[in-house]
Amino acid sequence: MNKKKIHKEKVISLLRARLERSEDPEISAEERISDQELEVLLGELQIFQLELEMQNDELSASYQMLENERSKFAGFFNLAPVGYFILDHLGMVEEANQTGADMLDISKSSVLQKRFQSFIAPEHWEIFYGFLHRMQSKDSKQSSEILISLNGGQELYTRMEGIAVSDIFTGKSKYYVTVIDISESRNAQQKLIETSQRLEMTLTASGTGTWTMELGNNKVFLDAFSYSILELNSWEFDGTIKGLIALIHPNDQERVRHKLLNMINTFTDLDLEFRIVTKSGKVKNISAKGHEVKNETMHNYFAGIIMDITERKRLAREAEALEKEKQKLVLSATFNAQEKERYKISSALHDSVCQILYGIRLNLQNIQLTKNLRGEFTNVNKLLDQAIRETRELSYELTPSVLRDFGFNAGVREMAQRLSTPQFRIKTVINSAADLLRSEVQLYVFRMIQELINNCIKHANATEAEIKICTENEMITLVISDNGTGFDKEVEKSLSQGSGIRGIKNRIFLLNGKMDLQTSAKGTSITIEFRSDPELSELSGY
């Protein structure tokens, strides 16, 4: 196309030169243009004219196409969902679309040739000037969140994006800016921030941290308060389940690992307590709860909370100790009342009934001697002897005065001798230091021996039993064994039956002791252990 244009220009210049020379009188006829040459040149001019007309038609079509495209893009420009503004180097609005004018709540004609800064809230002027400066100093697109002030005192939060372009004629910068209304999302974001802050304050006040776990890579994320609970810096935790389990007390690691795997595989809720060992060696009790969170746009994950329950555990242990102490006080008071009542009955029987029976027997013996009625009073004497013996046994059972008069060892041996028969022998092996036990402890142990020996006599079908009492390292060990038939049903069920066994267990509880029972067809052995100086309420009056 350029070559044709150059050729046309040469032909026209040549034709013009020939015509000028042909009109010059000083030029000879040979040098003047001939008709033939003129005809050729005219033919070429006609061709050039046709080509110009064709080019004009092409230009008209191109102009029409450009006009159509301009109209189309002008429609897009005005109907775009964001505001478009073109600002000159002074910030005057040269062009704006209808969306931008509607956003500013002003007509499009009123926006043009107006300083765009006039629409910016005063407190954001500095931000806007910084935005313009960044566009001017950098070639890349810039963005900023800027508050626009509307008529009537309304405010609009917007995100502006733009780029500066140099004008090819003036060399001055023009700013092409898009404005997007983000008020709704900004308000939602602000509400979310406020909600998050309230939640964080609530969790912090309650001593609660949060955690999340991704299912794909088993990554664990902790919030800042969780790190403070675990007494960790963020860089000291690698964010894995393995790293989390490493923080847990060795005795709890396997249980926690099993719970976590069960949660991941079955999508069940997590609720567990475990201990951790901090950097300083301190052991803390931690409670962790969590469940699966289903998300339509992302993969499902687990989220939950962790709490430091060390203090709660301590208070629970103290409450449990207080409850046990209360139970001990109740049992101690019960046994105290029982022993006092037994002592009163025993004293009454010993000091009144027994003395009366003794007097009756003496009188009857005297009658027998003086009247010579020995045969008639023989049965009476036997009955009186039996009454005296049974009364003495009852008095002994109620309050073993032998403990008070001769000591613990003598009292246990006297009981063994008294209960022994040719068919049932009782052996005793007692450390002499047992006499040094406190009186109430002696009474507790004596009552337990009584009950256990009575069980041997009544239920074991034994021919032999042994009582062993050892004192070593401030510990008392009582062993009652027999060669009977043993328990014919479950031990726990047997121990739960009978007031005598319950009384033994209560006394062991008061002594802070423990009991071990071994039974078989060859016999039964019961071992009771407790400290020689247990803490218990004082019993008196036995």
Neighbours of 347 (CB within 10 A): 14
Report pLDDT digits (tens) over 459-482.
888 889 999 999 888 889 999 999
Rounded Cα distance between 435 and 325, Å, is: 27
pLDDT above 90: residue 160: yes
Percent of the chain residues past pLDDT 90, beyond the cut: 12
Of 40, 36, 33, residue with least CA distance to 16: 33
Report pLDDT digits (tens) over 199-230.
667 666 667 888 888 877 778 888 888 888 88
Would you state the pLDDT for residue 224?
82
Report pLDDT digits (tens) over 51-61.
888 888 888 87
248 Cβ contact partners less than 8 Å away, ≥ 6 residues apart: 256, 274, 275, 276, 277
Would you state the pLDDT for residue 175?
92
pLDDT above 50: residue 34: yes
Of 470, 448, 474, 449, residue with least CA distance to 533: 474
Paired sense of beta strands 425-430 and 464-472, if any: parallel
Question: b/e string for 349-380 if b means 16 or more Cβ within 10 A?
Answer: bbeeebeebeeebeebeeebeeeeeeeebeee
Instruction: Tell me which architecture the domain covering 206-308 has in CATH.
Output: 2-Layer Sandwich (3.30)
Rounded Cα distance between 533 and 438, Å, is: 8
Would you state the pLDDT for residue 7?
56
Q: Is 489 helix (H, G, I), strand (E, B) or coil?
A: coil
Decide if 80 contacts 99 (C-beta within 8 A). yes
* Domain ranges within the chain, ordered by starting residue: 2-75, 81-181, 206-308, 311-399, 407-542
Would you state the pLDDT for residue 542?
36
Question: pLDDT-based confidence at 157, cuts 50/70/90?
Answer: very high
Burial of 245 (0-12, 13-18, 19+ CB in 10 A): middle
- Give CA torsion, residues 30, 35, 38, 39, to 10 deg: -150
Q: Is 68 helix (H, G, I), strand (E, B) or coil?
A: helix
Q: Which residue has the higher pLDDT, 528 or 44?
A: 528
pLDDT above 60: residue 1: no
Report pLDDT digits (tens) over 370-409.
665 555 566 666 666 766 766 666 666 666 666 777 788 8
Rounded Cα distance between 32 and 18, Å, is: 7
Q: Which residue has the higher pLDDT, 324 or 87?
A: 87
Domain spanning 407-542: CATH superfamily: Histidine kinase-like ATPase, C-terminal domain (3.30.565.10)
Rounded Cα distance between 211 and 160, Å, is: 36
pLDDT above 50: residue 166: yes
End-to-end CA distance of the chain: 136
Would you state the pLDDT for residue 537?
44
Q: In the chain, what are the helix, strand and coil shares in percent, each to the nearest 5? A: 55, 25, 20
pLDDT above 70: residue 123: yes
What's the mean pLDDT in 130-134? 91
Q: What is the DSSP string of 125-186?
A: HHHHHHHHHHHHH-SS-EEEEEEEEPGGG-EEEEEEEEEEEE-TTT--EEEEEEEEE-HHHH
Model pTM score: 0.39
Would you state the pLDDT for residue 502?
73
What's the mean pLDDT in 473-501? 72
The per-residue pLDDT of the chain, averaged, comes to 79
Report pLDDT digits (tens) over 236-267.
888 888 888 888 888 998 998 888 888 888 88
pLDDT above 50: residue 358: yes
Q: Which residue has the higher pLDDT, 493 or 232?
A: 232
- Is 81-181's fold the same as 206-308's? yes
Q: What is the DSSP string of 331-352?
A: HHHHHHHHHHHHHHHHHHIIII
Instruction: Tell me which architecture the domain covering 81-181 has in CATH.
Output: 2-Layer Sandwich (3.30)
Question: pLDDT-based confidence at 541, cuts 50/70/90?
Answer: very low
Of 247, 319, 243, residue with least CA distance to 283: 247
Would you state the pLDDT for residue 371?
62
